[in-house]
């Protein structure tokens, strides 16, 4: 199956694993997405991501997208609390803060940005929904994060991370350091009772004529 100029073998490797996971979990996906069409589009998006992840990459950083679920209204509506959670994440990840920007919206909700020498941490909250979208990007050393690149992990707190293939990965703690410790620091700081996490390596792809098999990537 050709995608974006290269051949995708759906029977093996990361793409095959994603396809099998999508097929085996399609009914669950359709329930989560409220429609089979939405579930199908989610599968296709995962396949495209897996295809990209099968390419060699000059890694420049790791990007983690964390969805904070069922956190207390007061925590998500407090600039001090959200800023404190991101500061704790930076400290846990041994990241260098260069600057901070905080904005409280007139009715409810806050946005907080930490500019890092390694890149950035940011959070945008919807207190009335118990939800925050948190972005963690760092050009620091690779960090062990659950389930593997491009594979969404879910967690009910306290509890382990659950992968799309139904594997369970221990959650760790904010004291663990690295990007994984930063993720835990955010969840602890905001008092979340649930979370979703998706992460990927960021960097430069090879020129089209140099595409080949990527080395195996570690994962939890």
Residues forming the active site: 119, 124, 139
Whole-number Å distance between alpha carbons of 29 and 143: 28
Q: Are strands 131-138 and 119-126 parallel, antiparallel or unpaired?
A: antiparallel
Considering only CA atoms, which of 116, 171, 93, 90 is closest in space to residue 82?
90
Distance of alpha carbon 11 from alpha carbon 212, whole angstroms: 17
C-alpha distances out from residue 157 to 100, 173, 184, 188, 196, Å:
29, 12, 11, 10, 11
Instruction: Estimate to the nearest angstrom the gap between the alpha carbon of 106 and the chain centroid.
Output: 29
The first and second tokens of residue 109, run together, are: 């909700």
Q: How far apart are CA 214 and CA 220, in angstroms?
A: 18
Structure token pair of residue 55: 């390419």
- Based on its alpha-carbon atoms, the radius of gyration of the chain, rounded to whole angstroms, reads 18
């Amino acid at each position: 199956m050709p995608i974006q100029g290269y051949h995708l073998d759906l029977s093996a490797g990361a793409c095959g694993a994603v396809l099998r996971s999508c097929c085996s979990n399609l009914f669950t996906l359709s329930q989560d997405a409220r429609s089979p069409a939405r579930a199908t589009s989610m599968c296709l998006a995962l396949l495209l991501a897996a295809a990209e992840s099968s390419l060699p990459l000059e890694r420049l950083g790791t990007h983690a997208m964390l969805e904070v679920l069922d956190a207390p209204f007061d925590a998500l509506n407090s600039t001090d609390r959200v800023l404190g959670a991101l500061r704790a994440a930076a400290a846990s990840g041994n990241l260098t803060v260069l600057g901070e920007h905080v904005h409280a919206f007139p009715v409810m909700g806050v946005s907080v940005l930490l500019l890092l020498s390694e890149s950035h941490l940011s959070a945008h909250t919807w207190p009335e929904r118990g939800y925050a979208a948190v972005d963690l990007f760092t050009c620091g050393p690779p960090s062990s994060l659950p389930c593997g690149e491009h594979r969404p992990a879910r967690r009910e707190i306290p509890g382990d991370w659950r992968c799309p293939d139904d594997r369970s990965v221990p959650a760790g703690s904010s004291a663990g350091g690295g990007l994984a410790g930063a993720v835990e620091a955010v969840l602890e700081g905001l008092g979340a009772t649930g979370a979703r996490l998706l992460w990927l390596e960021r960097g430069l792809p090879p020129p089209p004529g140099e595409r080949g098999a990527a080395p195996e990537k570690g994962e939890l």
